[in-house]
A and B are shown apart, each in its own frame.
Chain A
Amino acid sequence: MSGEQRAPLKGKRILVAKPGLDGHDIGAKVVALALRDAGAEVVYTGLRKSPQHIARVAVDEDVDAVGLSILSGSHRELVAETMASLEALGGGDIRVFVGGTIPPEDQGELLAMGVRRIFTSEMTLARVIAELAQALS
């Protein structure tokens, strides 16, 4: 197995974030652990962060990607605010991914806002990592 296969996210910096009040953080943590195992440098925000705070950390930490974990149904508002804040802080080139409970009919809207991919809990972690690696290459 080549190094790239073992650590497909080597050299990438990724912020895993929990915007809003949703306290279900296990998905975010599982993904953070899996990304780290895949070679990424992972920053995890912890719970209850405002979109503005998340954008600030993303820019300050100079990350390649932000993963937003949202299970409360507030994805439209929280994603829109995070995208706007990233833009305002000069982080418009940071790629944004979303995971959590996102109804299929809302996914198009998030993608239209500029979200690169939406990951659901039933996707395998291997697929999440592969898609991330492809999107970040």
Chain B
Amino acid sequence: MSVAEKRFEFVELEKAPPTPLAVTPSGIPLPVVATAADHDPRSEGLPGQFPFTRGVFADGYQGRLWTMRQYAGFASAKESNRRYKFLLESGQTGLSVALDLPTQCGYDPTDPMARPEVGKVGVSLASLADMEILFDGIDLARVSTSFTINGTAAMIYAMYLACADKQGVPREKLTGTIQNDILKEYVARGTWIFPVRPSLRLIADTVLYANDATPRFNPISVAGAHVRDAGCTAVEEMAYTLANGLAYVEELIRRGGDIEKFAKRMSFFFYVHMDFFEEVCKFRAARRLWARLLKERYGVKDEMALMFRFGVVCGGSSLTAAQPYNNIVRVAVELMAAVMGGVQSVFTAAFDEAFQIPTEFSAELALRTQQVIAYESGIAKSVDPLGGSHLVEFLTDRMEEEIRKVMGEIDAYGGVVKAIEEGWLQARLAARALERKMAIDERRNIVVGVNAFQTEGEKMAGETFRLDPNARRSVLEAFAALQERRDAAAVETSLSRLSEAAAGERENLLPYLVDCCHAYATIGEMAGRLKKEWGSFREPIRL
């Protein structure tokens, strides 16, 4: 009999068997009743104190509420600009920019590979000209902007600096985040461009440059979200992310970076799925483990550099196209788990995200969900309100152990870079995703509306958001107009300087990229020059 079946058996308490009745989705057996004997009080401590099990800030959300950051970006810069202004007027406190795939993969909109995808999953930012329109009337000194960008993160960051220069905003005033985490792109999200090692160089260049030029900007957000959404467990999500985080730390140290400095500006990014306690505890466990690893391995002293700050997405593959209104409830539960876990920044997905680009109605409802939890539920008042719960402390301890174990397996293989170059991690993830799918297909995991409690003859609810059919044309027209307008000689000069610097190994490429952006060089041109020097990633096909 499987554990899942056992869970629903009637058990008389006095005869309760000593074996656990339930396991978490990561496979951790749970006690029927947790007691003080199940956890180690030495690890718990206080919020704001090492090892930060209970949170990085002593005053939790009383000091500062989490940032409500909705992900939006549509087709043209002009249309996105309109949506951003709408979101800011609705009370959103940070912008999050979704970019289209050509921008993410380093293609100009005119490239044959790019053509069908222009403006589809986000905004097209082919050059500084587009970004100027995107932020028209939005003061970059006052708004914090997050870009979900990886393969071309260095270029988009350079473009942001150039855009701030144009607005007359001093660079040191800029706040925001670029994801800039290429390692997980090779494993799950797929917007890689160059081979692993030169990509690591570009990331280190960006982090080191940003630490000086824009000290309040987060130049890297190590993300577990995408591997999680693809199918791995919460334990694996944290293990892969911390392993990637340490790989960046190693690279930055190799490049002469000071860990006491750059670690302060590293942040993390995850998905929240539905198993409430496991989600709460994965954040507590990873926060503690990161602080411990930096202290144990690198002797980091500054407490600010040990702090694991993270943002989340609530939704993703935990949302269903069937009975889509159920997703509103799912997102609220996930949001509560993130808040109980001590999150710094939250994106709540719209309930219709599983089957379409959110409408203005569903996007607003997603933001309202955060406001209801923040201002009405009261859960943000005391710091770490679940701290000291026997179950929560037990599960936090167990998850930390399990995360360490998975990190050990990656180390045993030869580290993340090797595991990615050889396709080992990708194959491991695919196998896990198949397991997750089978568990749903075979109803070992219940998903309401999908494999249980279905509605007969259900029709999809809601309105449909349609992209402006002229969006691609307007992107292409703007692109053509730019070619006419810009100084071709200045573009060529900036690009050949970039090529030269990329051919060597010593120079930081960011100043060259900022120059390229100022000259209105395009994403495709910049990525193209680097590809010429470094080649492209050869994806290992291993199933």
A contact set with B: CB distance below 8 Å: 20-26, 29-30, 32-34, 36, 42, 44, 46-48, 50, 72-74, 77-78, 81, 101, 103-105, 120-122, 124-126
Contact = CB atoms under 8 A, between A and B. Distances in A.
Interface residues of B, number: 43
A32 B426 CA distance: 14
A78 B116 contact: yes
Nearest to B114: A21
A125 B440 CA distance: 10
Interface of B: 101-102, 104-105, 107, 112-117, 120-121, 185, 188-192, 230-231, 320-322, 355-357, 426, 429-431, 433-434, 437-438, 441, 450, 460, 464, 467, 539, 541, 543
B135 to A, nearest CB: 25
B355 A103 contact: yes
Nearest to B539: A46
Contact of A22 (B190, B321, B429, B430): B190
A48 B113 contact: yes
A25 B441 CA distance: 20
Nearest to A23: B190
A74 B120 contact: yes
Contacts of A25: 190
A23 B116 contact: no
B120 A33 contact: no
B102 A30 contact: no
Nearest to A76: B116
9 interchain residue pairs of minimum CB distance: A23-B190, A77-B116, A21-B101, A26-B230, A29-B430, A124-B441, A74-B116, A73-B120, A46-B539
Contact of B101 (A22, A29, A30, A44): A22
Most A C-beta atoms less than 10 A away, residue of B185, B430, B467: B430
Contacts of B438: 125
B108 to A, nearest CB: 13
Interface of A is mostly: loop
Nearest to B121: A72
Given A21-B117, A23-B185, A122-B322, A103 B356 contact: yes
Given A32-B543, A48-B113, A122-B321, A104 B460 contact: yes
Given A20-B101, A26-B430, A122 B450 contact: yes
A81 B433 CA distance: 30
A112 B430 CA distance: 32
A105 B116 CA distance: 19
16 contacts: A22-B101, A23-B185, A23-B189, A24-B230, A29-B426, A29-B430, A46-B541, A48-B113, A48-B190, A50-B112, A72-B120, A73-B467, A74-B117, A101-B355, A122-B321, A125-B438
Contacts of B104: 21
B433 A30 contact: yes
A21 B543 contact: no
Given A29-B543, A46-B541, A120 B117 contact: no
Contacts of A30: 231, 430, 433-434, 437
B460 A125 contact: no
A72 to B, nearest CB: 5
